[in-house]
């Protein structure tokens, strides 16, 4: 084929190559803005709570002890059951105490007879001394003898009362109402007044206490906020306490703060706060570890954000997506307080009037502009 025939094909190929390398007349389609929902923060009074750890403690604990020495004849109560004050728990062999009481009664009768005789003698001598039939010394002796016999009567009456008490102590009763544990002695055991081991232990379980610990630093921060006026103190009788159970659920019955200790533990730098909870079903047992959410103050200009608005960076620092007037998103670190009704209390990092992204966070990136979706919330995150 001649060179003249190949020339048109070469020109066509060059034209096609140049057209392929030239600029495209079609424009790249613009990416639509991500849609988000926002919330404008408003200041309002918020309860400031602290989540404190502690242990359940019985308000009253009584160690049942023998008040007289003797052999245990019978255990009357059922272990692990409720008892009332005055209920019979143990019976100690009463025979020695009955004998002591009988002896004391006999001695009292003898003393009363001696006192009766001394009284008659004093009355006769009082008439004789007036007629100088006896000396004054004899009359003084009769009067002294009467006083001595009266004193012996009083002493023997006390001995009778003591013997009667000891006989009563042979029946061991409950000193308080509550739930009694296992018996620590059995029938046939010899017990005494100075025994180190009690017979049983009774604990009052309803209501029950939760002894909590809080650092002095936290308390001092609260006090400074009270003095500055940024927080309002909750009255002791009005401070609410909510107990958090082992599985994370809330104990259904609310409690209250009773008091705070007046001294600090030098070893831990913490102070003890005592709260009280109703315990009708005995779900809370002494010694159990618990967490309690305690209302301690009110922030008159508090801010809170929905839990779903919080993200965290790789270091675990909480963040929110903040929206400026140009609809541009930025990351804002925040300091969080407790959770109230599914909302985080924000202690630092935001102010009233700030707009934060609450839905569509997965589509918004820092530095991007977004479109605010003002349609009624569906309760579900915005989907693109």
**330-361, pLDDT tens digit by residue?**
888 998 877 777 888 887 888 888 898 888 88
Q: How confident is the model at residue 207 (pLDDT cuts 50, 70, 90)?
A: very high
Question: Quick check: bond before 207 cis, omega within 30?
Answer: yes
Taking each helix axis from N to C end, the angle separating 95-130 and 136-169, rounded to the nearest 10 degrees, works out to 160
pLDDT recorded at residue 28? 53
pLDDT above 80 for 329: yes
pLDDT recorded at residue 96? 93
Integer-rounded Cα Rg, in Å, for the chain is: 44
Which residues make Cβ contacts (< 8 Å) with residue 240, sequence separation at least 6?
254, 255, 256, 294, 295
pLDDT above 60 for 21: no
The CA-based dihedral angle spanning residues 297, 302, 307, 311, taken in that order and rounded to the nearest 10 degrees: -110
Structure tokens that stand for 342 in this block? 């599914």
Of 79 and 267, more confident: 79
Pairing verdict, β 34-40 and 370-372: parallel
Helix (H, G, I), strand (E, B) or coil at 99: helix
Arithmetic mean of pLDDT, 103-123? 91
The CA-based dihedral angle spanning residues 81, 86, 90, 91, taken in that order and rounded to the nearest 10 degrees: -150
Helix (H, G, I), strand (E, B) or coil at 16: helix
User: 229-255 b/e with 16+ CB inside 10 Å = b?
Assistant: eebeebeeeebbbbbeeeeeeebeeeb
Helix (H, G, I), strand (E, B) or coil at 218: helix
CA distance 14 to 4: 16
Using CB atoms within 10 A of its CB, is residue 59 exposed (0-12), middle (13-18) or buried (19+)?
Answer: middle
Arithmetic mean of pLDDT, 83-97? 93
Most confident among 206-210, 324-328, 375-379 (mean pLDDT): 206-210
Which domains are seen in the chain, by residue range? 35-46+302-372 (2.40.420.20), 47-58+205-299 (2.40.30.170), 67-91+173-203 (2.40.50.100), 94-169 (1.10.287.470)
Arithmetic mean of pLDDT, 376-380? 49
Question: Which of 120, 114, 107 shows the shortest CA–CA distance to 150?
Answer: 114
pTM of the model: 0.63
Rounded percentage of the chain residues whose pLDDT exceeds 70:
84
| Sign (positive or negative) of CA dihedral 46, 51, 52, 55 | positive
* Mean pLDDT score across all residues of the chain: 82
pLDDT recorded at residue 7? 45
Of 161 and 236, more confident: 161
Structure tokens that stand for 223 in this block? 């006090």
pLDDT recorded at residue 228? 60
**264-278, pLDDT tens digit by residue?**
888 888 888 888 999
Q: How confident is the model at residue 229 (pLDDT cuts 50, 70, 90)?
A: low
Helix (H, G, I), strand (E, B) or coil at 19: helix
């Amino acid at each position: 084929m001649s060179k003249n025939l190949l020339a048109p094909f070469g020109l066509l190929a060059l034209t096609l190559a140049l057209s392929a390398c030239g600029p495209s007349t079609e424009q790249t389609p613009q990416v639509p803005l991500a849609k988000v929902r926002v919330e404008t923060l408003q200041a309002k009074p918020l309860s400031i709570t602290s989540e404190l750890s502690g242990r359940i403690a019985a308000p009253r604990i009584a160690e049942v002890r023998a008040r007289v020495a003797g052999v245990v004849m019978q255990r009357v109560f059922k272990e692990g059951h409720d008892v009332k004050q005055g209920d019979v728990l143990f019976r100690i062999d009463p025979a020695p105490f009955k004998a002591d009481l009988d002896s004391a009664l006999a001695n009292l009768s003898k003393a009363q007879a001696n006192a009766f005789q001394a009284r008659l003698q004093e009355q006769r001598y009082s008439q004789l001394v007036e007629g100088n039939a006896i000396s004054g010394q004899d009359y003084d002796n009769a009067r002294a003898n009467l006083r001595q016999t009266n004193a012996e009567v009083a002493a023997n009456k006390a001995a009778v009362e003591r013997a009667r008490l000891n006989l009563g102590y042979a029946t061991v009763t409950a000193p308080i109402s509550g739930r009694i544990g296992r018996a620590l002695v059995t029938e046939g055991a010899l017990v005494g007044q100075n025994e180190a081991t009690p017979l049983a232990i009774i604990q009052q379980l309803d209501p029950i206490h939760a002894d909590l610990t809080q650092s002095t630093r936290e308390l001092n921060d609260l006090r400074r906020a009270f003095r500055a006026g940024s927080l309002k103190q909750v009255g002791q009788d009005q401070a609410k306490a909510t107990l958090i159970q082992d599985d994370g659920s809330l104990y259904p019955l609310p409690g209250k703060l009773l008091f705070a200790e007046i001294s600090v533990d030098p070893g831990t730098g913490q102070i003890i706060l005592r709260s009280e909870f109703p315990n009708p079903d005995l779900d809370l047992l002494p010694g159990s570890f618990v967490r309690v959410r305690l209302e301690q103050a009110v922030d008159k200009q508090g801010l809170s954000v929905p839990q779903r608005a919080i993200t965290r960076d790789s270091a675990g620092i909480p963040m929110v997506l903040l929206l400026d007037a140009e609809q541009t998103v930025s990351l804002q670190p925040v300091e969080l307080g407790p959770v109230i009704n599914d909302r985080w209390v924000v202690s630092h990092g935001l102010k009233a009037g700030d707009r934060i992204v609450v839905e569509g966070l997965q589509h918004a990136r820092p530095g991007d502009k977004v479109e605010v979706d003002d349609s009624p919330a569906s309760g579900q995150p915005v989907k693109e």
